[in-house]
């Protein structure tokens, strides 16, 4: 058999594998509630966001069920077998890890955009944010306007490799982990907060303030990260209409 390259396992996958093994070994019986994220993080010696990503992966796979306001429960073997049959493949980077990578990269791109500021660029960014706001008002997930905003910001650097990386990172939203995480935590109020954060970036770009643009973009992506890591909602928020998958 030919030698195959060894790929490092992502941390959230390692955590999910360990929790799945404990469940399969009877440590957590069907119907039982898993320990709180904070407790799991302490026992495993990892961060809470990494545990959150692992639990979302197990939910996508049908191993556990997240009950808002109650906790994360082990599914029965029968329910798990049905869920596994239709579960999407859980691959790719963790959503929170992706956001942290974007924070590093896009903060600098926002600063570069401010240095290259022009009325045309500001108008293009404003148009994208306006589209986000219109979609929210219509009860739609504003992902197309969001994507347009971040790609137009990257285009201002006039660097094809950087634009390609930003595009790839943003399109990780098509990852089933990101979609499931969004189902729990994204709602109209959070998206309106994100729109306000986008407008602060545009304001900094408009006056050519690179430091302010960098700070505003980093703050936006930090808050995006934080919105996905707050305590589980007490109940499922009224969802926006389901978006189509993002395509170039």
Q: Is there a contact between 199 and 122 (Cβ–Cβ < 8 Å)? A: no
Bigger pLDDT: 209 or 6?
209
d(CA 185, CA 172): 17
d(CA 33, CA 75): 10
Count CB neighbours of 161 within 10 A: 8
> What value, to the nearest 5°, has the Cα angle with vertex 116 and ends 113 and 117?
80
Distance of CA 171 to the CA centre of its chain: 10
d(CA 228, CA 215): 20
Q: Mind listing the pLDDT tens digit for each residue in 20-78?
A: 999 989 999 999 999 999 999 999 999 999 999 999 999 998 999 988 878 899 998 77
What's the pLDDT at 76?
Answer: 85
Q: Mind listing the pLDDT tens digit for each residue in 172-201?
A: 988 889 988 988 888 899 999 999 999 999
Q: Mind listing the pLDDT tens digit for each residue in 101-127?
A: 999 999 999 999 999 999 999 999 999
Structural domains of the chain in order of their starting residue, each with its CATH number? 11-86 (1.10.10.10), 95-227 (1.20.120.530)
């Amino acid at each position: 058999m030919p030698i195959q390259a060894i790929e490092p396992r992502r941390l959230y996958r390692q955590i999910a594998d360990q929790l799945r093994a404990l469940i399969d070994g009877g440590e957590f019986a069907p119907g039982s509630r898993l320990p709180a994220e904070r407790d799991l993080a302490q026992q495993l010696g990892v961060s809470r966001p990494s545990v959150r990503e692992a639990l979302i992966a197990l939910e996508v796979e049908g191993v556990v069920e997240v009950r808002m306001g109650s906790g994360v429960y082990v599914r029965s073997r029968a329910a798990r077998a049905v869920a596994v049959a239709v579960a999407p493949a859980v691959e790719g980077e963790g959503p929170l890890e992706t956001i942290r990578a974007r924070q590093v990269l896009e903060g600098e791109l926002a600063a570069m955009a401010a240095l290259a500021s022009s009325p045309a660029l500001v108008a293009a960014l404003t148009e994208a944010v306006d589209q986000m706001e219109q979609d929210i008002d219509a009860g739609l997930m504003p992902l197309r306007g969001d994507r347009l905003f971040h790609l137009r910001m990257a285009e201002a650097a006039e660097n094809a490799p950087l634009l390609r990386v930003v595009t790839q990172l943003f399109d990780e939203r098509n990852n089933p982990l990101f979609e499931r995480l969004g189902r729990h935590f994204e709602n109209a109020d959070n998206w309106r907060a994100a729109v306000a954060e986008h407008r602060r970036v545009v304001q900094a770009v408009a006056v050519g303030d690179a430091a302010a643009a960098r700070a505003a973009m980093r703050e936006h992506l930090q808050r995006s990260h934080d919105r996905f890591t707050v305590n589980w909602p007490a109940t499922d928020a009224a969802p926006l209409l389901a978006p189509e998958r993002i395509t170039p």
